[in-house]
Structure 1
Amino acid sequence: MKHIIMIIKNISKHYPRKKYGQHFLVNDTIIDAIIKKINPNKKETLVEIGPGLGALTKPISILVEKLTVIEIDCKILNFLKNNSYYSKLVVFCDDVLRFNFLDLFNESNQLLRIFGNLPYNISTVLILFLFKQIAIIQDMHFMLQKEVAERLVANPGNKAYGRLSIIAQYYCNNKILLNVNAENFWPIPKVDSVFVNLIPHIHAPYFVYDINVLSNITKIAFQNRRKIVRHSLKSLFSEKNLIQLSIDPKCRAENISVLQYCQLSNFLYQKLKKN
């Protein structure tokens, strides 16, 4: 409770900025549960995206030798400077979507553990950006809008299943760890949140020759998700092609599995390579 009171007092000095989608976590019980789920070890390379007012930054910095934080709002970083744990921080005032994570990896020679309470307005774009650097990431723990989290873990046939589900599951094993009600943030958002864990596959269950081909197929398929795939993907595959790959031409995009999308991707890649 003391921690909550301190955060709220600090909020009066730094009102959340709407353009950055700031909603500060203010529940000590949730904070403790999150830290247990992350389970940081002293010598690991941890990176926090959007430290905010330090709800996670402070307790995690105590558990590690150093903590890298990336924050676009430099006013918040000025607030962090007034805290005793600041000496443990390696601070970047930067747009995370332009940040070079490879430099951190090369400096530490360790896989990165990335976590954060992500702004709703960039969460999906950021996750896709991080997938491009998946080879240097050990795991990711994020607080996300509930709808986005459900898309990450959705199975075929589920309304939440879509392009993000396929790309995320191609790269990672994704789990929902905690459901977090809106009342645990200030200001209170209009939606509930979910804390998730994304662990890159060690032994990839799927293979594609070119991830860009997979990305393009899923984009086209889900732009027309109400159409059967014989129609939505007709610019890429004939009905004969779909049957050849054991895909029912009358099914819709949301009924095709991740493995089947990968098969479609590889079929199209080889077809384009021949031409």
Structure 2
Amino acid sequence: MPNKKLGQHFLIENKIINKIVNYIDPRLQDNILEIGPGLGALTKPICTFLEKLYVIELDSDLVNFLFNSPFSKKLKILKKNALFYNFLDIFNKENKNIRIFGNLPYNISVRLILYLFNFCSVIKDMHFMLQKEVANRLSASPGTKCYGRLSVIAQYYCNIIPLLQVFPNSFSPVPKVNSMFIRLIPNLTFPVLIEDIKVLEMITNAAFGQRRKILRHSLSKFFHVKTLIKLGVNPMLRAENIRVSQYFQLAYYLIMK
């Protein structure tokens, strides 16, 4: 039975499962890790393409289920909490960048993705099923309702591509929200290299924490109006009207100041 405390919703619709596997496009030589395999809806078909699949699962009952599954011989099961796991371990074992996928529990999805950004240097790509609202926030563009702090931070690290909308009846138990399957491809190069990501987090927190204020007020702690203008940022605009690249420039300026 699904564990409500762990936010489990198992995929059950074969049509959606097949589409997801096609989007992931697993290859024999890939170093692939699944987060939260559950009852193996994605695990089983992905295994048919691989000799070995790493899976991280915290639920003891599901770990036992996986150990006794017909495809268990292909699994490297890690009974770990993905929020604290060192993903460098798998990279070091295989000496190959990791491809990560999973149907993520809604209650930890944002925290987990932000944590995974710490390992982008060894990740080839990520494919996740998320609550649609979260997926929209990750991929949002300036001027849209969903655009915010999470959008800026996520798009610094990755190119984010929504792939497939998934409706509640594709899961058991049925969630109360729609879902979205997305692809995240870590950026190999950055328009602005921000050595201390905490500076970008600090700026976006100040700007989007006071969304109704114009930037000359919300960012007054960090920038003089003349500085904003010099950096190409209109101080009369609000947080949601500033491009991702402009936030990068602001962070870079503070770091180099």
Show the counterpart of 2:68. Answer: 82
**Partner of 2:71: helix, strand, or coil?**
helix
Contact 1:27 1:184 in 2 (8 A): yes
Question: Distance in 1 between the 2:60 and 2:243 partners?
Answer: 43
Question: Distance in 1 between the 2:208 and 2:60 partners?
Answer: 38
Show the counterpart of 1:45. Answer: 31
Show the counterpart of 2:181. Answer: 195
Q: How does 1:253-268 map to 2 (within 5 A)?
A: 253-268=239-254
**In the alignment, is residue 99 of structure 1 matched against residue 75 of structure 2?**
no
Question: Distance in 2 between the 1:199 and 1:38 partners?
Answer: 12
Q: As a proportion of its length, which structure holds more helix?
A: 1
Structure 2 counterpart of 1:189, one-letter code? P
Contact 1:70 1:91 in 2 (8 A): yes
**In the alignment, is residue 205 of structure 1 matched against residue 191 of structure 2?**
yes
**Partner of 1:220: helix, strand, or coil?**
helix
Question: Distance in 2 between the 1:204 and 1:36 partners?
Answer: 29
**Partner of 1:96: helix, strand, or coil?**
coil
Q: How does 1:110-129 map to 2 (within 5 A)?
A: 110-129=96-115
Q: Where in structure 2 are there 5+ consecutive unaligned residues?
A: none
**32-41 or 237-246, which moves further after superposition?**
237-246
Question: CA RMSD, aligned part only?
Answer: 1.0
What's the offset of the Cα at 1:106?
0.4
* TM-score normalized by the length of structure 2: 0.98
Show the counterpart of 1:249. Answer: 235
Structure 1 counterpart of 2:101, one-letter code? F
Structure 2 counterpart of 1:20, one-letter code? L
Question: Distance in 1 between the 2:192 and 2:58 partners?
Answer: 35
Question: Distance in 1 between the 2:30 and 2:223 partners?
Answer: 46
Question: Distance in 2 between the 1:138 and 1:189 partners?
Answer: 30
Q: Where in structure 1 are there 5+ consecutive unaligned residues?
A: 1-14
Show the counterpart of 1:6. Answer: none
Question: Distance in 2 between the 1:182 and 1:267 partners?
Answer: 45
**In the alignment, is residue 67 of structure 1 matched against residue 53 of structure 2?**
yes
What's the offset of the Cα at 1:222?
1.1
Deviations 1:168-215 (A, max 9, x none): 111111101100001100100010000000011223334323222111
Match of 2:223 among 237, 254, 258: 237
Structure 1 counterpart of 2:8, one-letter code? Q
Question: Distance in 1 between the 2:11 and 2:124 partners?
Answer: 25
Question: Distance in 1 between the 2:134 and 2:143 partners?
Answer: 17
Contact 1:170 1:206 in 2 (8 A): no
**Partner of 2:68: helix, strand, or coil?**
coil
Structure 1 counterpart of 2:255, one-letter code? Y
Question: Distance in 1 between the 2:2 and 2:225 partners?
Answer: 52
Structure 1 residue runs of 4+, over 3 Å off? Answer: none
Q: How many residues align?
A: 257
Q: Sequence identity of aligned pairs in percent?
A: 55
**In the alignment, is residue 172 of structure 1 matched against residue 158 of structure 2?**
yes
Show the counterpart of 1:228. Answer: 214
Show the counterpart of 1:146. Answer: 132
What's the offset of the Cα at 1:160?
0.5
What's the offset of the Cα at 1:94?
0.9
What's the offset of the Cα at 1:87?
0.8
Structure 2 counterpart of 1:138, one-letter code? K
**In the alignment, is residue 18 of structure 1 matched against residue 20 of structure 2?**
no
Contact 2:192 2:252 in 1 (8 A): no
Match of 2:145 among 145, 151, 159: 159
